[in-house]
Amino acid sequence: MPSHFRRSVPAGRRSVVAMQLVLFAVVVTLVTVFILTAVGRIADYANRYDDSRSMQTTEGALQTFRTQLQATLNDYSAWDDAAQFVYAQDGQDWVVSNYGDMTSNSGLFDIAIVMDTERNVLMSYQEGRPAEWNPREYFDTSLWTLFDRVLSTGRDGLPEATGFVQTRDGVAAVGVALVREKSGALDKPLSERRFLVFARQLDEKKVAELARTYVVEGLRFIDKTDQTSNSVELRNLHGKLLVKLSWQPRRPGDLGFSQVQPLVYGALAMVGLFFLLLVVSGSITLNQLKRDEADARRLAMCDRLSGLLNRSGFFTALDALVLESRAQGAHVLLLYLDLDGFKEVNDAYGHGTGDKLIRGVAAGLKTLVGSEAILARVGGDEFAIALPVMGASPVAPILCDRILGFFGEPFVIGERVAVIGTSIGVAISPRGNVPGEELVRRADMAMYRAKETGRGRYENYRPEMDAEREERNRLEVDLRIAIERREINIVYQPVVDATNWRLIGVEALARWTRKGYGPVPPDVFIPIAESSGLIDQLGLFVMHRACERIADWPGIKLAVNISPGQFRDPEFSQHVASMFRKTGTDPSRITLEMTEGYFIQNPDRARAAIARLKKLGVEIALDDFGAGFSSVGYLRQFGFDRMKIDRSLVHAMSEGDHAVQTLQATVALARSLGMPVTAEGVESEDQALKLRMTGCDELQGYFFGRPMESHEIDVIYRTDRGRDGKRIA
């Protein structure tokens, strides 16, 4: 395989597998990140939730600490005995016993004070002993705020107030209440009223008790400037920060994460190990794919029968060669070959022989063109050769002559000998300036010109071929339009009885006058109709129009030419039968004329097609006998009803007795097979007389009448249909 072809092939599936591995790695990484992020978020949420709960618990504990004091204060102030003895002149002992002594290890309050309305201290105890300080100095001003709130309490209000107050010993929960009966009644004027003050110190001991009671681990005082998030601020009634309490976060999320962390990391380790194994196996797979792709490329780009590049591989390699030649300033020479006669060999000897012939041709071409050339089988019997050439090297004619010489020798295939040729189209891409696809188009066009001009030769591409192709394409378009618009004219050439020259039939012939151009010869537009697939429409149109016309000529037979293209249509006989029914035509009046080429190329299909047509009742004539292969075997094999001698045999009679004897032998052959004979191309009375003497049954030619319009046939038919011994036209 040439290097420029190998370089042009992409990496293929290996990149797909590599991308899959990378994608898997990305997915694993993302999944890992997602898992760790999810676990981390769960842990963080659990931590923040626990911190929030701890804060709420601590705040609740401090609130409970204050409300407990408030409840105790309410019990001791709204008390009938207190309302009696606190206001009595001799009640001092009761006050000390029930208030002052209770400050010692009661756990309910540490300080008890009784004051009057003017804030004069009537009794002051701390921890079971008379206090040695003045309340105005011991408490901050928020105590008096509480006192004022109680004083300002209305008739229906509760004369009590509590809050946290800064003391000389720290922070305390303080409550102030009016001493009254349990019912709340008090028959004393404002100036004589007494007020009870309880204080409960919030010290480290109390904080420790709160921590144990409310399960707040490490609850403690911290510096008021500490900015830790896990803390609670305690403020007085004026909003002044008194103290901060903090606790030791339990971090349950971290604890849970530490519990699952080994499992997560273990799972990730297993995934990592699996990925490592996958990478190793993927590497092995990639290497195998690399080898498989190389094999697949060879199979995808190569023709299995010949072992050469196929069409796809050829175009890939040709494009690479053109680019390389453009860079190096070299030319690209392209030879496009089509085998002549291969189809006949394939049909005659079978596909097995045809396959061997293809392999033999491929092997021979490999030897001729060398290893640096690109050699490909681009179609069933088409080959292409591309190679770089420098300057004005005479490589093309030399190589073409060698190839034609190679095909000049017969191919021995087993016990059979096959003789085939080739037509070659040559095109050049100067310095790689003509793209590969265009280069192939030019070579293909030149190859078809070689076929049209005799086969077994080579033809160089010329720019005017494009103009000719364009003109042919325009002709095809105009012909299609003419057929669709029924602009094809039908003319009729008389066929006479050889014995008396009376009109016995006509041959329908198509004529086309191209709008804006004039008449187009049949040998120009008929091949175009054949190659473009228009021949089916054209042939059926001619037959349909002619069948309609012969209804006016009773007793006259109609001959219509059938194209090989029509014969290939498996439904052709059905179309003919349908047309006969629509026009009311008697099939026995119709002769379908066909040349021998199609029968030689497709004997089985031709035999079946003839059988279907003959079932309709038509006559089948072999046209142009003597112009081609003219095998007696084919005459017997297909059972033709009539032989039509080619004009070349008629014209050859003037060359001497030998030609006349050949014609006599041909007629005798037809007689022996029971076939009547029609001779065409009769241009003189002498030819007509000689043909009558040789035994021909019917005559046709310019001597009896050129192809003419139907109204001219009307005249001939009406007048005499031809008098004995006289020309009819």
Residue 277 and residue 426 in one domain:
no
**Distance from C-alpha of 512 to C-alpha of 525, rounded to nearest angstrom:** 8
* Residue 571 included in any domain: yes
Q: What is the CATH number of the domain that holds 160?
A: 3.30.450
| Contact status, residue 687 vs residue 650, Cβ threshold 8 Å | yes
For residue 429, give every residue at least 6 positions away whose Cβ sits within 8 Å of its Cβ, in sequence order, or none.
Answer: 322, 325, 331, 332, 334, 435, 436, 439
Name the band, by pLDDT with cuts 50, 70 and 90, for residue 629: low
| Contact status, residue 550 vs residue 494, Cβ threshold 8 Å | no
- Give the range among 29-43, 124-138, 232-246, 586-600 with minimum mean pLDDT: 29-43
% of residues, the chain, pLDDT over 70: 92
Phi-psi region of 292 (alpha: psi -120 to 50; beta: other; left: phi over 0): alpha
Residues 442-478 have pLDDT tens digits of 999 999 889 888 789 999 999 998 888 888 889 999 9
Range 59-67, long-range pairs (CB < 8 A, 24+ positions): 59/232, 60/214, 61/210, 61/213, 61/214, 61/216, 62/164, 62/202, 62/210, 62/232, 62/234, 62/245, 65/173, 65/200, 65/202, 65/206, 65/210, 66/162, 66/163, 66/164, 66/173, 67/162
Name the band, by pLDDT with cuts 50, 70 and 90, for residue 9: very low
Residue from 497, 479, 499 nearest 488 by CA: 479
Query: Position 372: which residue type?
Result: E
Residue from 65, 196, 202 nearest 125 by CA: 196
Residue 15 and residue 84 in one domain:
no
% of residues, the chain, pLDDT over 90: 55
The residue among 148, 177, 202 that closes a domain is 202
- Give the range among 8-22, 26-40, 214-228 with minimum mean pLDDT: 8-22
Total-model pTM? 0.54
The tally of domains found in the chain comes to: 4
The residue among 265, 300, 335 that closes a domain is 300
The residue among 300, 318, 334 that closes a domain is 300
Q: What is the CATH number of the domain that holds 694?
A: 3.20.20.450
| Contact status, residue 263 vs residue 39, Cβ threshold 8 Å | no
* Residue 136 included in any domain: yes
Name the band, by pLDDT with cuts 50, 70 and 90, for residue 7: very low
Residue 313 and residue 450 in one domain:
yes
Query: Position 365: which residue type?
Result: L
| Contact status, residue 596 vs residue 344, Cβ threshold 8 Å | no
Burial 237-251 (b: 16+ CB within 10 A, else e): beeeebbbbbbebbb
Q: Is the pLDDT of residue 661 over 70?
A: yes
**Distance from C-alpha of 415 to C-alpha of 585, rounded to nearest angstrom:** 51
Confidence at residue 351, expressed as pLDDT on a 0 to 100 scale = 86
Query: Position 505: which residue type?
Result: G
Residue 448 and residue 503 in one domain:
no
| Contact status, residue 325 vs residue 332, Cβ threshold 8 Å | yes
Residue 140 and residue 274 in one domain:
no
* Residue 475 included in any domain: no
Rg (CA), the chain: 60
Residues 530-540 have pLDDT tens digits of 878 899 999 99
**Distance from C-alpha of 525 to C-alpha of 479, rounded to nearest angstrom:** 8
Burial 352-386 (b: 16+ CB within 10 A, else e): ebbebbbeebbeebeeebeeebbbbbbeebbbbbb
Q: Say whether 117 sits in a helix, a strand or coil.
A: coil
Residue 257 and residue 333 in one domain:
no
Residue 442 and residue 586 in one domain:
no
Residues 350-372 have pLDDT tens digits of 888 999 999 999 999 999 998 88
Phi-psi region of 705 (alpha: psi -120 to 50; beta: other; left: phi over 0): left
Q: What is the CATH number of the domain that holds 383?
A: 3.30.70.270
Residue from 58, 39, 44 nearest 252 by CA: 44
Confidence at residue 295, expressed as pLDDT on a 0 to 100 scale = 66
| Contact status, residue 426 vs residue 384, Cβ threshold 8 Å | no
Strands (E) across 79-217 are located at 111-116, 121-126, 129-130, 160-167, 170-178, 194-201
* Residue 217 included in any domain: no
**Range of 20's domain?**
1-77+246-300
Residue 641 and residue 686 in one domain:
yes
Q: How many helices (H) and strands (E) does the chain have?
A: 25, 25
Residue 533 and residue 565 in one domain:
yes
Residue 574 and residue 434 in one domain:
no
User: What is the residue whose two structure tokens read 């392999």?
Assistant: 359
Residue 672 and residue 648 in one domain:
yes
For residue 414, give every residue at least 6 positions away whose Cβ sits within 8 Å of its Cβ, in sequence order, or none.
Answer: 353, 356
Residue 441 and residue 312 in one domain:
yes
* Residue 207 included in any domain: no
CA dihedral 131, 136, 140, 141 (to 10 degrees): 140
Confidence at residue 724, expressed as pLDDT on a 0 to 100 scale = 47
Structure tokens at 441: 């188009």
* Residue 209 included in any domain: no
Structure tokens at 64: 């409970």
* Residue 130 included in any domain: yes
What are the residue ranges of helices labelled H in 302-337?
311-328
Q: Is the pLDDT of residue 2 over 60?
A: no
Name the band, by pLDDT with cuts 50, 70 and 90, for residue 5: very low
For residue 729, give every residue at least 6 positions away whose Cβ sits within 8 Å of its Cβ, in sequence order, or none.
Answer: 494, 704, 705, 706, 708, 712, 716
> Could you give the C-alpha distances from 490 to 24, 484, 510, 583, 647, in angstroms and in order?
75, 15, 5, 16, 22
Q: Is the pLDDT of residue 546 over 80?
A: yes
Question: Could you report how far apart the first and last alpha carbons of the chain are, in Å?
Answer: 70
* Residue 598 included in any domain: yes
